[in-house]
């Protein structure tokens, strides 16, 4: 007699580093971050957004605001997370993951295998490559927040490089899920300007004025996001180095535009220099930009 096959599970890669490994502490912190913005109470139908992916001490509350605001719109079947690519390997398509489930300290999330198979049939836009998910944190750090906000939803992680095809990847993803009659929201996991000697990027030197310059650099891209300019995201980030997940952002905007979204709303814009000032003050030398944005 053959025993039932156990589903393949991706274990957590950065729990205990970017966010708590202990389940009780992870739940408590995640719940504290899930504070919706008043925009979620408006008549606007928000279907997507931007979330950061740094350690929770820096950006958990910013990510939680986006996710909680979207959750006020009601339950969904799938949460699509277009992620920034940090794995130093060449990638010219969107990378899907082959596992059936992802595990974090709060439990497991199911991946929608049938939808992944449909995406895999979209020519060369998508590929299945676990190497781009095995150690990647862009999706994982937001998964506990997603699990609490959307407890019955499957999660579809898609790593999107900063390539010209990112916009088309987003459109085809939205079309595929719409054809399957799936209710979904679309997240882009990206931080913004990585400024300072730690990142090898100091066009305005260091000090308070440099921190202000970095935040202004973010605003250029945030204006494009709120204007739904999906086609301009990747070129802008390539020129100004103001997002690590430009491909993810372009894909999210294109997916939401495909479904009728016409505007983005900036809820919060801050930096690691500012958020750490409350718990572990740092000199005005290095900073990473974070933003909460919803799209509808």
Longest distance between any two alpha carbons in the chain, whole Å = 70
Which is nearest to 247 in space by CA: 23, 83, 17?
83
What CA–CA distance (Å, rounded) separates 293 from 296?
10
Which pTM value belongs to this model? 0.96
Q: Where are the domains of the chain?
A: 44-295
Burial readout 137-174 (b: 16 or more C-beta within 10 A, e: otherwise):
bbbbbbbbbbbbbbeebbbbbbbbbbbebbbbbbbbbb
What CA–CA distance (Å, rounded) separates 52 from 61?
10
Three-state DSSP state, 286: coil
pLDDT, tens digit (0-9, with 9 covering 90-100), for 37-82: 997 677 689 999 999 999 999 999 999 999 999 999 999 999 999 9
Which is nearest to 81 in space by CA: 105, 106, 109, 55?
109
What CA–CA distance (Å, rounded) separates 20 from 254?
33
Assess whether pLDDT exceeds 50 at residue 2.
no
Contact yes or no for 296/261 (Cβ under 8 A): yes
pLDDT, tens digit (0-9, with 9 covering 90-100), for 114-173: 999 999 888 899 999 999 999 999 999 999 999 999 999 999 999 999 999 999 999 999
Strands 264-271 and 48-51 turn out to be unpaired
What CA–CA distance (Å, rounded) separates 115 from 92?
21
Class of the 44-295 domain?
A: alpha beta
Assess whether pLDDT exceeds 90 at residue 175.
yes
């Amino acid at each position: 007699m053959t025993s039932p096959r156990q589903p393949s599970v991706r274990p957590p890669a950065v729990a205990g580093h970017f966010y708590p490994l202990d389940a009780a502490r992870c739940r408590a912190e995640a719940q504290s971050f899930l504070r919706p913005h008043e925009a979620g109470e408006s008549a606007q139908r928000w279907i997507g957004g931007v979330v950061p992916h740094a350690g929770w001490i820096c950006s958990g509350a910013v990510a939680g605001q986006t996710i909680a605001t979207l959750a006020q719109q009601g339950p969904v079947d799938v949460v699509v997370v277009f992620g920034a690519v940090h794995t130093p390997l060449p990638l010219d398509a969107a990378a899907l993951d082959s596992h059936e489930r992802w595990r974090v300290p709060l439990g497991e999330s199911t991946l929608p295998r049938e939808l992944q198979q449909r995406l895999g049939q979209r020519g060369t836009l998508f590929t299945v490559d676990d190497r781009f998910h095995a150690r990647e944190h862009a999706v994982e750090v937001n998964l506990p927040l997603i699990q609490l906000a959307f407890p019955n939803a499957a999660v579809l992680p898609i790593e999107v490089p900063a390539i010209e095809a990112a916009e088309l990847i987003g459109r085809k993803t939205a079309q595929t899920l719409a054809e399957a009659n799936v209710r979904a929201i679309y997240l882009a996991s990206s931080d913004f300007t990585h400024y300072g000697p730690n990142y090898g990027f100091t066009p305005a030197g260091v000090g308070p004025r440099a921190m202000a310059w970095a935040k202004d650099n973010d605003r250029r891209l945030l204006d494009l996001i709120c204007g739904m300019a999906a086609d301009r995201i990747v070129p802008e980030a390539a020129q100004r180095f103001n997002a690590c997940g430009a491909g993810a952002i372009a894909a999210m905007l294109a997916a939401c535009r495909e479904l009728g979204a016409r505007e983005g709303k900036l809820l919060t814009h801050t930096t690691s220099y500012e958020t750490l000032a409350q718990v572990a003050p740092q000199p005005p030398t290095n900073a990473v930009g974070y933003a909460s944005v919803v799209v509808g």
